[in-house]
Amino acid sequence: MLRGLALLMIIAACGMYGLLMAQRYVQRPKQLRAFHQALEGLTTEISYGGTPLPQALQSACIGVEEKVAEFFSLTAGEIATGQPASQAWLESANKVRSDLCLNNEDWQVIISLASGLGTTDKIEEKKKLQLCSMRLLAQEESALTQGTKLAKMWSYMGFLAGATIALIIL
């Protein structure tokens, strides 16, 4: 009886891990889309409104997925307290990194924006933000095509791996 329970727990644990991994692949394109949306908002705030970064970042994250919004909100707060934007951007990225489902390549694109953020005129800022947005869109496309396959694989593989371990133990 006890042994059966233990085997069930192994299968459940491995299955859960697989589902969690699958969820990360499902969430990644969504979060990339949220970043893209926020950057579009930021571009509008900067190029048309000339809004200072702290307020522009706060406005840009309205209606964006909570975890992504937190990144922009944290950055805005740091800049408002007197930290240079590039430093605030990098620090916020480090703080939220573990909460988001993005991979290293995605983070490289996001972090690339830190250098010189807010130090040029509206036209240059717009160019930088649009370039980053486009790169994020490309990341999102690859995340969508790869993600669907990998998400399915992980959702089955967790349980299968658990069942295999259970069989070996039996």
Partner 1 sequence: MVINRQATLFDRHSRFDKEILPLLDPALRDWLLVLTPGRKDKLEEIRLRAGQPILLRFAKEEFTLTAKGELVKELAYGYRINQQTVHTTLDIMTQSSLYAWEEEIKNGFITLRGGHRVGLSGKVTLEAGQVKTIKYVSGLNIRLSKEIKGVGRKVLPYLLKDHQLQNTLIISPPQAGKTTLLRDLTRLISSGAVELGLRGVNVGVVDERSELAGCYEGIPQNDLGPRTDVLDCCPKSQGMLMLLRAMAPQVLVTDELGRPGDMAAIEEAVNSGVNVLTSVHGEDELEVRRKPSLREVLGSGVFSRIVVLSRRMNVGTVEKIIDCTNNINLLNSPLALAGRE
Q: How far is the CB of 115 from partner 1 (least distance, A)?
A: 12
Residue 29 or 54 having the CB closest to partner 1: 54
How far is 46 from 53, CA to CA, in rounded Å?
Answer: 8
- Asked if 114 interacts with partner 1 (CB under 8 A), we say no
Q: Coil, strand or helix: which one is 125?
A: helix
Which residues inside 47-66 make contact with partner 1, applying CB under 8 A?
50-54, 56
Q: Which 70-89 positions form the footprint of partner 1 (CB under 8 A)?
A: 79-80, 82, 84-86, 88
How open is the CA angle 71-75-78, to the nearest 5 degrees?
A: 140
118 near partner 1, rule: CB under 8 A:
yes
CA–CA dist 45, 56 (Å, integer) = 6
Binding residue for partner 1 (CB under 8 A) from 99, 105, 121, 141? 121
The answer to whether residues 161 and 10 touch, using CB atoms and an 8 Å cutoff, is no
- Name the minimum Å distance from CB 55 to partner 1: 9
In 3D space, the residue among 43, 69, 48, 45 whose CA is nearest the CA of residue 56 turns out to be 45
* Total residues in contact with partner 1, by rule CB under 8 A: 22
- Please, is 63 exposed, middle or buried when counting C-beta atoms within 10 Å of its C-beta (0-12, 13-18, 19+)? exposed
Residue choice 38, 125, 151, 155 for contact with partner 1 (CB under 8 A): 125
Q: Which residues in this chain contact partner 1 in the complex, by CB under 8 A?
A: 46, 50-54, 56, 79-80, 82, 84-86, 88, 117-122, 124-125
